[in-house]
Amino acid sequence: MKKLIEGLQKFQTGYFSSHRELFEELSHGQHPRILFITCSDSRIDPNLITQAQVGELFVIRNAGNIIPPFGAANGGEGAAIEYAISALNIEQVIVCGHSHCGAMKGLLKLSSLEEKMPLVYNWLKHAEATRQLIKDNYSNLEGEELLEVTVAENVLTQLENLQTYPVIRSRLHQGNLTLHGWIYRLESGEVLEYDPLSHDFVPPQSRLLYPEPEYNFHPTCPVPASSVFKVSTVSTPTRNGKGIKETNNGNNGSSLPGYEHFPPEQAQRIYRGSH
């Protein structure tokens, strides 16, 4: 606590004093540009890694950067999302996972948490779609490689869960909202963004050459493929969370980028409903 109190004093006499006009402006209301959803992990600081100013990010944090599907939980995530989009009119949403995520490690060994940490167990059950996908499609991976894939697939699962919220779905339909999936690598400071055309996580800078929306589940602008986040191909076709190249055989007949894991009728319905 001594260190924190000393920090408060340094903040008040240093940063706050030199940015007094900014804080005076913020006292009249907030106008953040980004809804940033990330993990509670103490090693992640959204403002630090993005170098965003105070007041630019509206942040939701929890274990595993999980967004329960609409109506699945009574936590604060849904309320915060609704407020961010409806009241603050935020038009950009980022779901940011990270390497070495303890929540994803727990998800891979979920049954062992039920007795020791029942609240954590119940919370991680909201990521059951991620756990099942990993179990059924990545049985050939283990260790850190398996954890990296889990982190990546979980980001995509949460982007899909976001679309179950009426306000998100409506703004996407209007073209007034874009969703982004990020992974932050603790060991290198690198941030990668999901590209639904190449089914890979690539440096965000490579996407700035193209106009908004930067992220879309069915973008119309071409994005060059990258090999940044690739692992060896698995035999079962699946939505690619880590740059694994999809095959055409066994993809349920859907040729829509990012929808290969859906039956063709559902893929077409979601695709049409997103425009």
CATH code of the domain in which 81 resides: 3.40.1050.10
Q: Is position 6 within any domain?
A: no
Residue pLDDT, tens place only, 102-156: 999 999 999 999 999 999 999 999 999 999 999 999 999 999 999 999 999 999 9
Instruction: Report the domain count for the chain.
Output: 1
Q: Is position 94 within any domain?
A: yes
Residue position matching structure tokens 């409903």: 273
Q: Mean pLDDT over residues 83-109, rounded?
A: 97
Give the pLDDT score at 67.
Answer: 96
Q: Mean pLDDT over residues 49-78, rounded?
A: 93
Q: What is the spatial distance between Cα 33 and Cα 89, in angstroms, rounded to a whole number?
A: 8
Q: What is the chain's mean pLDDT, rounded?
A: 81
Percentage of residues of the chain with pLDDT beyond 90: 67
Confidence of residue 197 (pLDDT cuts 50, 70, 90): confident
Residue pLDDT, tens place only, 3-39: 999 999 999 899 999 999 999 999 999 999 999 999 9
Q: Is position 127 within any domain?
A: yes
* Structure token pair of residue 174: 């209007």
Give the pLDDT score at 200.
Answer: 86
Short-list 149, 155, 131, CA closest to 242: 149
Q: Note if the bond before 213 is cis, omega within 30 degrees.
A: yes
Give the pLDDT score at 81.
Answer: 97
Residue 263 pLDDT greater than 60, yes or no:
no
Burial environment of residue 133 by CB neighbours within 10 A (0 to 12, 13 to 18, 19 or more)? buried
Percentage of residues of the chain with pLDDT beyond 70: 74
Confidence of residue 252 (pLDDT cuts 50, 70, 90): very low
Q: Is position 265 within any domain?
A: no
Residue 223 pLDDT greater than 80, yes or no:
no
Q: What is the spatial distance between Cα 177 and Cα 175, in angstroms, rounded to a whole number?
A: 6
Q: Within a 10 A sphere around the Cβ of 120, how many other Cβ atoms?
A: 18
Q: Which domain holds residue 120?
A: 30-246
Predicted model pTM? 0.74
- Phi, psi (degrees; rounded to nearest 5) at 271: -60, -50
Residue 244 pLDDT greater than 90, yes or no:
no
Give the pLDDT score at 254.
Answer: 47
Residue 264 pLDDT greater than 70, yes or no:
no
Q: Is position 60 within any domain?
A: yes
Confidence of residue 247 (pLDDT cuts 50, 70, 90): very low
191-195 and 178-184 beta bridge pairing: antiparallel
Q: Is position 19 within any domain?
A: no
Residue 242 pLDDT greater than 60, yes or no:
no
Q: Is position 140 within any domain?
A: yes
> Which neighbouring-strand residues pair with 237?
none
Q: Mean pLDDT over residues 181-206, rounded?
A: 89
Q: Is position 264 within any domain?
A: no
Among 73-87, 231-245, 256-270, which stretch is predicted with the lowest mean pLDDT? 231-245
